[in-house]
Chains A and B, each alone.
Chain A
Amino acid sequence: MPRVKVARKSTATDMTAMCDVAFLLLTFFILSAKPKTQDPVHAEVPASTSIITLPENDFSTILVAQGKTFFSVEGAEIRMETLKGMADQYKIQFTPDEIKAFANVETVGVPVNYLKTYLDMSSKERSQVAQNGVQVDTTDNNELFWWVKNARKADIAVHNKELRIAIKGDSKEEYPTIAKIITTLQKQKVNKFGLITSLRTVTK
């Protein structure tokens, strides 16, 4: 009696469907991708139950951590326009190359008088520069004040919209540092701004 042979089936599977799905997901991720921006200092943002999402355009962030303040604004065009405003303010001449370089600078954390040297560096050298933050105090003439002011002007010039400002502060940051920034903003009548928080669920 002959043995019943089990037919050997091929282990090859049809990959077409899997490939389709994989590429569909890939397309989705590429299109929705917004690269992570590397902050010069890490800020552990406090949690709150607020669910307002931040806008992606016409938006500026003031990062506060370890007693240092950093300024950043979204959009290459607005950045370039802001730098032109700062150049007028501090009487510094920037070459077109430097202005172009500034469009790629995500966060400003160097004093204005050092900015020209900073922009002349290659991006690799730039990442090695120790950034001590934008100068901010309670006087009318601090650098953060002018950064914010020029960014607001730039946003109105480019997009004709009012710039939204948010503070991204570290939880452990002492209140006086935050108070200085709030005073700076209030000096130019920015009385409404956002505080970036992480999401927390309400404990009932």
Chain B
Amino acid sequence: MAELDTSGGGKKGGGKVRTKKQSTRVDLTAMVDLAFLLITFFILTTTLQKPKAMDLVMPDKDPLKDVRLPVPESRTMTVLLGTKNQVEWFIGAPPDHLVAGPTKDNFGKNGIRKSLLEEGAKIKASSGKEMIVLIKPSNKSTYADMVSIMDELNIVGNQERAIVPITALDISLLTRDGLN
């Protein structure tokens, strides 16, 4: 590998003494080795993929002025987040003004997403407005559940949503269906 061209010099016959012409070739093997070693080091220590984030907008909670708007129960879907990544949803207000549900559901393409799409379409057809989704995480639900439901809403393209505190009535519903 390491080569040094020494053929250019030497005395040939008489005449002038020539300076040796040395080759300019340098063995680069070691340098390449080093470079690749450093590349490996930098690949391993850097975070190439930047973390992604989902934006979460919470309703303004000003204690001085109440900016709550009345919303029709008939186009409000409430999603309760229970234990073990399960959810329960209903439309309307329990116990007397239920339009649909309460139905147990889970995350996934045939779970809550299907319900969101179907119910959203029904409400849009009857009232011409988008469905309002209220998310009520129970104390047993995890952070992953909250992110999942927000993500499902992003996937179905619902913008009218809010995370609101759970009520005692909702908790009793969850307990009845074994999700608390």
Residues on A lying within 8 angstroms of B by beta carbon are 10-12, 15-16, 18-19, 22-23, 25-26, 29-30, 32-36, 45-54, 64, 166, 168-179, 182, 186, 189, 191-200, 202-204
Contact = CB atoms under 8 A, between A and B. Distances in A.
Contact of A175 (B3, B31, B141): B141
A203 B56 contact: no
B113 to A, nearest CB: 9
A35 B47 CA distance: 7
A166 B53 contact: yes
Main secondary structure of the interface of A (DSSP, over half): mixed
Nearest to A16: B28
Contact of B53 (A35, A177, A189, A196): A196
Interface residues of B, number: 51
11 contacts: A15-B28, A29-B43, A33-B46, A36-B47, A46-B148, A48-B52, A175-B139, A182-B163, A195-B56, A197-B52, A203-B109
Main secondary structure of the interface of B (DSSP, over half): mixed
B126 interface: no
B55 A169 contact: no
Given A48-B150, A173-B142, A19 B42 contact: no
Contacts of A175: 81, 137-143, 145-146
A22 B36 contact: yes
A-B complex: 8 closest residue pairs judged by Cβ atoms: A15-B28, A22-B35, A194-B53, A171-B144, A29-B42, A50-B54, A46-B144, A48-B151
A26 B57 contact: no
